[in-house]
Amino acid sequence: MAKLHAVWICLDCEEVYTDKRDPGTCPVCGSRAGWPLRRWVHPALNVRAAHIVKTRMMEAIAEEARV
């Protein structure tokens, strides 16, 4: 399986490929206009983590208010 940091999407032909070099080279069209998926996925993961923290804080505040 490919690791996230080596996964690219080609902005010219939409091929998803793996390449450890930076920038990667598309194996289908040879374009170097690849976008690293890690730049999109990591912020999304952080948003989810921030949401979980906020939810737990709200629960803790609600719990405190009940006492």
Contact residues for 38 (Cβ-Cβ < 8 A; gap 6+): 4, 5, 7
Residue 29 or 50: which CB sits closer to Zn ion? 29
Rule CB under 5 A: is residue 26 a binding residue for Zn ion? yes
Residue from 13, 52, 53, 60 that binds Zn ion (CB under 5 A)? 13
Residue 23 or 43: which CB sits closer to Zn ion? 23
Going through the chain in order, the beta strands assigned E by DSSP cover: 7-10, 16-18, 34-36
Which residues are at the interface with Zn ion (CB under 5 A)?
10, 12-13, 15, 26, 28-29, 31
